[in-house]
Amino acid sequence: MEDIGFFYSVRPRAPRRPACKFLVPRHLRSLLERRLRRFDQRMLLYLPRLIRLAREAPHGLPRRGHFTTLYQEPALDLQPFNFRVRGEDWGEFKTLARGLGVSMCRLFVALLLLESSSEKERNEGSTTFRLFLSERIAPGKKRLLRRLRIRPQRRKPR
């Protein structure tokens, strides 16, 4: 049998700012509101910061090495938090969560806590990163091989 490989690239076109929702534990709702005050009450500005944090500190993120996704504990009294962000940011966040094997809500809460535990401001430089996610099911075995790589993008010399 011949191997079939494909690669695809997706760039969201519509909607540009999709309606999104995270489920946040009730006891962290006030922390989220305090953090958003620093970003003019806009998740549109805050989510890219959390994505940068995930790129810079991947060792502090939750992981699950199973077929199934790890969700938040049901007894946390989860509260919906609705917002709109750029489609590109939402897609990148979704890819990060999938690569780590956790739900987007669980990743968001982990990044919220990680970001709030660090009082020092991070450099908001313009380094760009490339995200690679590959998943493969080993033939004849019930085994998922998932690989998430985060790399700084090389700049072309002038």
Range of the domain at 102: 19-120
Structural contact between residues 91 and 10, judged by C-beta atoms closer than 8 angstroms: yes
What pLDDT is recorded for position 98?
87
pLDDT, one tens digit per residue, over 76-100 is: 899 999 999 998 889 889 888 888 8
Taking the model in full, what pTM does it have? Answer: 0.71
* Amino acid letter, 51: I
> Does 23 reside within a domain?
yes
Average pLDDT over residues 139-150: 67
Total of domains in the chain: 1
Confidence of residue 126 (pLDDT cuts 50, 70, 90): very low
> Does 153 reside within a domain?
no
Quote the tokens at residue 71: 């969700």
Residues 137, 139, 142, CA angle at the centre, nearest 5°? 60
pLDDT, one tens digit per residue, over 18-77 is: 889 999 999 999 999 999 999 988 999 999 999 989 888 878 888 877 777 878 887 889
Structural contact between residues 103 and 97, judged by C-beta atoms closer than 8 angstroms: yes
What pLDDT is recorded for position 132?
65
What pLDDT is recorded for position 58?
79
> Does 141 reside within a domain?
no
> Does 5 reside within a domain?
no
